[in-house]
Structure 1
Amino acid sequence: MYLHHVAAYLPAAVVTNEHFTQLNGLSSDWIIERTGIRERRRAGPDENGNTMAVAATRAALAAAPGFDPAAVNLIVAGTYTPHDTIFTAAHAVQRDLGVNEIPTLTISSACSSLLNALEIVEGYFAMGKASRAIVVVSEHNTAYNNESDTMAGHLWGDGAAALLLSRERLGPNDLLIKTILTGGAAPVGKADCSVTLTPVRQGIVMPHGRDVFQWACTYMARITQTLLDQHQLRADDLRYLIPHQANLRIANNVVKQLGLPPERAVNNIDRLGNTGCAGAAIGLAEVWDTLVAGDKIIVTVFGGGYSYGAMLLEKDLTVSSEQ
Structure 2
Amino acid sequence: MYLHSVAAYLPAAIIDNAHFTRLNGLADEWIIERTGIRERRKAAPGENSNTMAIAATDAVLAQAPAFAADSIDLIVVGTYTPHDTIFTAAHAVQRHLGINEIPTVSISSACSSLLNAVEIVEGYFAMNKARRALVVVSEHNTAYNNEEDTIAGHLWGDGAAALLISKDRMSPADLLIREVVTGGAAPVSKADEAVTLKPVERGIVMPFGRDVFQQACTYMARVTQTLLDKHHIPNQELTYLIPHQANLRISLNVAKQLGLAPERAVSNIERLGNTGCAGAAIALAEVWDTIKAGNKVIVTVFGGGYSYGAMLLERN
Report deviation, 1:172.
Answer: 1.4
Flag structure 2 segments of 5+ consecutive residues without an equivalent: none
Report deviation, 1:199.
Answer: 1.3
Alignment of 1:93-112 (within 5 A): 93-112=93-112
Q: Deviation per CA, 1:183-238, whole angstroms, max 9, x where unpaired?
A: 00000010000000011333100000011001000000000000000001121111
Q: Distance in 2 between matches of 1:16 and 1:269?
A: 12
- Does residue 89 in structure 1 map to residue 69 in structure 2? no
- Does residue 252 in structure 1 map to residue 264 in structure 2? no
The corresponding residue for 1:124 is: 124
Letter in structure 2 aligned against 1:8: A
The corresponding residue for 2:66 is: 66
- Does residue 275 in structure 1 map to residue 279 in structure 2? no
Q: Distance in 2 between matches of 1:235 and 1:42?
A: 36
The corresponding residue for 2:49 is: 49
Q: Distance in 1 between matches of 2:293 and 2:169?
A: 15
Q: Distance in 1 between matches of 2:99 and 2:74?
A: 10
Alignment of 1:1-323 (within 5 A): 1-316=1-316
Q: Deviation per CA, 1:13-64, whole angstroms, max 9, x where unpaired?
A: 0000000000000000000000000000000001000000000000000000
Report deviation, 1:8.
Answer: 0.1
Aligned-partner SS, 1:301: strand
Aligned-partner SS, 2:202: coil
Q: Deviation per CA, 1:132-170, whole angstroms, max 9, x where unpaired?
A: 000000000000000000000000000000000100000
Report deviation, 1:263.
Answer: 1.0
Letter in structure 2 aligned against 1:78: G
Q: Distance in 2 between matches of 1:99 and 1:133?
A: 12
Q: Distance in 1 between matches of 2:117 and 2:291?
A: 23
Q: What is the aligned length?
A: 316
Q: Distance in 1 between matches of 2:201 and 2:148?
A: 13
Q: Distance in 2 between matches of 1:31 and 1:202?
A: 23
Letter in structure 1 aligned against 2:72: V
Aligned-partner SS, 1:170: coil
Q: Distance in 1 between matches of 2:125 and 2:281?
A: 21
Q: Distance in 2 between matches of 1:251 and 1:235?
A: 16
Aligned-partner SS, 2:283: helix
Q: Distance in 2 between matches of 1:219 and 1:264?
A: 18
Letter in structure 1 aligned against 2:302: F
The corresponding residue for 1:319 is: none
Q: Distance in 2 between matches of 1:181 and 1:220?
A: 11
Q: Deviation per CA, 1:230-288, whole angstroms, max 9, x where unpaired?
A: 00112111110000000000001000000011111100000000000000000000000
Q: Distance in 2 between matches of 1:73 and 1:252?
A: 38
Q: Distance in 1 between matches of 2:110 and 2:127?
A: 26
Q: Distance in 2 between matches of 1:195 and 1:252?
A: 21
Q: Distance in 2 between matches of 1:203 and 1:30?
A: 23
Q: Distance in 2 between matches of 1:17 and 1:79?
A: 25
Letter in structure 2 aligned against 1:197: L
Q: Deviation per CA, 1:271-323, whole angstroms, max 9, x where unpaired?
A: 0000000000000000001111001000000000010000000001xxxxxxx
Q: Distance in 2 between matches of 1:248 and 1:80?
A: 22
Aligned-partner SS, 2:156: coil
Letter in structure 2 aligned against 1:228: L
Aligned-partner SS, 2:176: strand
Letter in structure 1 aligned against 2:111: C
Q: Distance in 2 between matches of 1:202 and 1:46?
A: 21
Q: Distance in 1 between matches of 2:24 and 2:9?
A: 29
The corresponding residue for 1:321 is: none
